[in-house]
Structure 1
Amino acid sequence: MKPATCPRVLLVEDDPTSRAFLTAAAVRTPAETDSADCMSAALALADGEPYDLWLFDAQLPDGSGIELLRQLRERHADTPALAHTACSEPSTHAALRAAGFADVVVKPLPAAAVQAAIRGVLGLAAAPEAIGPSPHEGPMPLWDDDGAALALNGNREHVQVLRGLFLQELAQAGTRIGEALRRGDVLEAQQELHKLRASCGFVGASRLAAAVHALALQPRQEGLCKGFTQAVYETLDSHGAGD
């Protein structure tokens, strides 16, 4: 049972795998956590009971984290906010902080890092540090089971649940990326690739994550496109059973 002083967090994330991971991490902070997948749903939730913290994705299907923060600030001026994003560009982080976010966390990241960010903004006591996994030796595995379990505080059952959700969404994500590249829409492809890389990190899809990262850097490279497609097929064919 959570303490009576357990903070309430509003999480906004449109990707189902990332939303499930971040929700699980926030709940174990501990925090009462409500989640939304878009601006409109978040605004509806925020009109109800007040929250102690907002945790917003920088890019949403019907707007942006900055716009959502601006609208909610008109009603709740003092609620602290954290931004989460798959983008590592310093200029993006600076813009988010300038808009009023107390801090920015970059996906993928372990649950302990999400919890530390929440505790830091709310002024809560820090949790003990987790010991990281040993560096992997040899060829890139299809699945990093130990890393995924560590990211979820050792909960391997939850890893499998997240992987099932991830695999349900993966084929559609691969199709969207392929279609964007065929249209020559590099920006859309890179946005989808950044989102997919975050999801890969949350479930330990290490080989696909490497292919996604390489393609995001050189989206017009045919060989990398083929490597990405092959990694998608390999990951789907595995059914989350491991390498």
Structure 2
Amino acid sequence: METRDPAPLPRVLLVEDDTISQAYFRAVLEGLPTTVDAVASQACAMARADTTRHDLWLIDLTLPDGSGIDLLLKLQARWPQSPPALAHTADADPDVRLPALQAGFRDVLVKPLATAELSGAVRQALAEAGGLPDWDHAAAAAALNHDPTNVQALRRLFLEELPGARDEVLNSAQRGDAGTLRARLHRLQAGCGLVGAKRLGAAAELLRRTPESRTALERFDHAARDLLS
């Protein structure tokens, strides 16, 4: 089966006024990979968002011209069908977290952030929003020594086995067998990483973490079916 043309990278609006932190966030986000629009203020964020649809908003809660919560509310008014939003802050006070969650942020990340923590939160948010591409060609090439013949051969094998893997996951979920479900998803994630099945791998990770979630199961099923179509 021939692979489809690569989908556009997810686009992230990064709002961070500290130069060093902005550079760090950008490096981690671009390594996922994503396309990053980095700005340092509410005004610049609104100007960028006025003409660009983003797959994720990543917003500092304290900005030079207002709060991140105020910015989120403005962005939500501009884009009623809003993408997921993550807040980040250097303030570890628990009282900071609740108002941000109530405003609509799906999580509040406390700086300094380890690369794995930041990338994991972003991957999960994008997976839930359907913002990841089906195939990550660069990741597959790196995993298989940049040999296109190996990439194509392993992807064919992966796609041949995917219907059975999908059925096992769905059946385990329907039986409520969380142990078998997690084990099968763990094996599937390894294959996804080798062939660059980015969106399915993220959906599998989300379902493995939240096996009781109907939404996570549906996202997994949609990602698998899209690869097989």
Query: Please, what TM-score do these two structures have when normalized by structure 2?
Result: 0.52
Structure 2 match to 1:50? 53
Residue in structure 2 matching 1:95, options 92, 95, 99 = 99
Matched, 1:113 2:117: yes
Q: Deviations 1:156-198 (Å, cap 9, x if unpaired)?
A: xxxxxxxxxxxxxxxxxxxxxxxxxxxxxxxxxxxxxxxxxxx
Unaligned runs of 5+ in 2: 131-229
Compute the displacement of 1:33 (Å). Answer: 0.5
Q: What is the CA deviation profile of residues 58-93 of structure 1, one whole-angstrom value per residue up to 9, with x for unaligned ones?
A: 000000100000111111122210000001111101
Aligned partner letter, 1:115: S
Is the partner of 2:100 in helix, strand or coil?
helix
Aligned match of 2:35 in 32, 36, 39?
Answer: 32
Structure 1, unpaired ranges of 5+: 126-243
Residue correspondence of structure 1 range 103-142 to structure 2 within 5 A? 103-123=107-127
The aligned residue for residue 23 of structure 2 is 20
Cα distance in 2 for partners of 1:37, 1:13 equals 5
Where does residue 205 of structure 1 map in the other structure?
A: none
Q: Percent identity?
A: 46
CA distance in 2, matches of 1:107, 1:17: 12
Aligned to 1:86: 90
Matching residue's letter, 1:45: R
Aligned mates of 1:33, 1:20 — CA distance in 2: 11
Counterpart of 1:203? Answer: none
What is the count of residue pairs matched by the alignment?
A: 124
Q: 1:26 to 1:3 in 2, by over 3 A?
A: farther
Map of 1:65 onto structure 2: 68
Task: Note the C-alpha offset of 1:5.
Answer: 4.0
Question: C-alpha root-mean-square deviation of aligned residues, in Å?
Answer: 1.7
Give the alignment's TM-score, normalised by structure 1.
0.49
